[in-house]
């Protein structure tokens, strides 16, 4: 089975970040389920994305059905409530790769854990948790062929990082080995700096590129 | 007077980072004083850099003389002892722009202040303190025409940030408005992530580029 054809479920997928990711997967031929609190909202936004792409690869449903039916899980759940939702979905997430883009807010210079670390703790070893897309804005995601941008990928096991990097690469961005899940704090804090840069320069969506790689 | 011809003094300038910065300034026609604990070492390394550039723009001296004679100050002092040295030089630094590249080690996910914040506190309002070059490796600096790389610049006042950005830009790198001095913690922690990336990819000098700017 071609891994890149596995269904990606996006929890909280009707938000801007989730929509941007769904567009990128579907534009590259991959089926996506948008999870939402309300199935109807999930379906409506899925149809909007399909119309934009002239495709039928995006479907919408509740977060519960999305978690159950997705082979791979991306979370763009908002920080407020992300742990409660993930905990409710625990059985459906067990054994799967869960890549979270959720950012602790306000982001951290203060020694507190990142949203990704909290998620891994809440799921308690039953899933492979990675963090990615923290620094990538929704509007960068929606520009399907924008300026090359990198995505720092964090997880405690090298295998999980590699698996998540394959997922990131399949969106057309470049996944970079960022290190252990704890270092997601750096990506969260960097996102705070990028938002300040947006404001200082009057732009909407700065991101990062790692220089010096082969 | 052309500001870009003002003498730059680099405290701790005989280390690799200081040498890389000195090369970049002198290669663009700007006089540099390398400060060192030993004047003799400063002079020797200044001569090596002059030989490499076929120039006579680099001189070497003690940190004390460098701080006194520099119009603008860059600090690449090692973390261990940087505050003691800066405190000793306090009178010479008063009223000047001091841009520090020093990184707290190990860099921080823990809520502790950055080296730059400590420096500003030690100098107690008598100088304009900015932070820059945290994420830039010495080997990137030594490649005078390497891959374009950005430098996050932090200071508590907008005027100081702008002044420091002009200094950074004059090295051929691009200075970016990073925000208040406290955010230097993010650049320090990001440097820790970059060192992990170097290791993961078997390279020597990754850095960052900010995407999405005009």
Q: How confident is the model at residue A146 (pLDDT cuts 50, 70, 90)?
A: confident
Give the gyration radius of chain A's Cα atoms: 16
Average pLDDT for B136-149: 89
Please give the ipTM for the structure prediction. Answer: 0.95
Per-residue burial over A80-119, b if 16 or more Cβ lie within 10 Å, else e, is eebbebbeebeebbeebbbbbbbbbeebbbeeebbbbbbb
CB hemisphere CA count around A152 (13 angstroms): 29
What pLDDT score was predicted for residue B21? 98
Contact A197 B178 (CB under 8 A): yes
Distance from CA of B111 to the nearest CA of A (A): 4
Residue A13 contacts by C-beta under 8 Å, 6 or more apart in sequence? A19, A21, A22, A32, A33, A34, A35, A36, A42, A45, A60, A66, A74, A76
CA distance B130 to B134: 11
Measured between beta carbons, the chain B residues lying within 8 angstroms of A183 are 109, 189, 192-193, 196
Average pLDDT for B25-52: 97
Distance from CA of A207 to the nearest CA of B (A): 5
> Pick from A147, A179, A196: which is nearest to B212 by CB?
A147
Q: How confident is the model at residue B2 (pLDDT cuts 50, 70, 90)?
A: very low
Measured between beta carbons, the chain B residues lying within 8 angstroms of A140 are 211-212
CB pairs under 8 A between A and B: 125
Average pLDDT for B179-198: 97
Measured between beta carbons, the chain B residues lying within 8 angstroms of A212 are 137, 140, 147, 149, 198, 203-207
What is the residue-averaged pLDDT of chain A? 95
- Pull the structure tokens for residue B25: 């300034």
Measured between beta carbons, the chain A residues lying within 8 angstroms of B149 are 211-212
Distance from CA of B139 to the nearest CA of A (A): 10
Distance from CA of B147 to the nearest CA of A (A): 7
Measured between beta carbons, the chain B residues lying within 8 angstroms of A214 are 201, 203
Q: How confident is the model at residue B90 (pLDDT cuts 50, 70, 90)?
A: very high
Measured between beta carbons, the chain A residues lying within 8 angstroms of B208 are 208-211
What is the residue-averaged pLDDT of chain B? 95
Distance from CA of B78 to the nearest CA of A (A): 22
Average pLDDT for A59-78: 98
Query: Which of A142, A164, A193 to mutate: most B Cβ within 10 Å?
Result: A193
């Amino acid at each position: 089975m071609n891994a890149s054809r596995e269904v990606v479920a996006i929890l909280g997928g009707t938000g801007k970040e989730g929509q941007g990711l769904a567009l990128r997967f579907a534009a590259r031929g991959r089926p996506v389920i948008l999870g939402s609190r309300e199935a109807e909202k999930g379906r409506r936004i899925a149809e909007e994305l399909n119309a934009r792409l002239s495709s039928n690869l995006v479907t919408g449903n509740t977060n519960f059905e999305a978690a159950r039916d997705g082979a791979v899980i991306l979370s763009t759940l908002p920080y407020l409530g992300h742990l409660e939702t993930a905990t409710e979905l625990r059985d459906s997430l067990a054994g799967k790769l869960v890549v979270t883009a959720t950012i602790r807010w306000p982001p951290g210079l203060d020694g507190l854990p990142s949203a990704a670390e909290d998620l891994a703790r809440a799921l308690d070893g039953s899933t492979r948790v990675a963090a990615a897309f923290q620094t990538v804005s929704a509007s960068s995601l929606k520009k399907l062929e924008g300026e090359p941008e990198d995505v720092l990928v964090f997880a405690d096991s090298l295998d999980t990082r590699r698996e998540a990097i394959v997922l990131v690469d399949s969106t057309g961005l470049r996944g970079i080995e960022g290190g252990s899940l704890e270092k997601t704090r750096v990506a969260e804090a960097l996102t705070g700096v990028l938002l300040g840069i947006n404001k200082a320069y009057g732009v909407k969506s700065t991101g990062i590129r790692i220089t010096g790689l082969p």
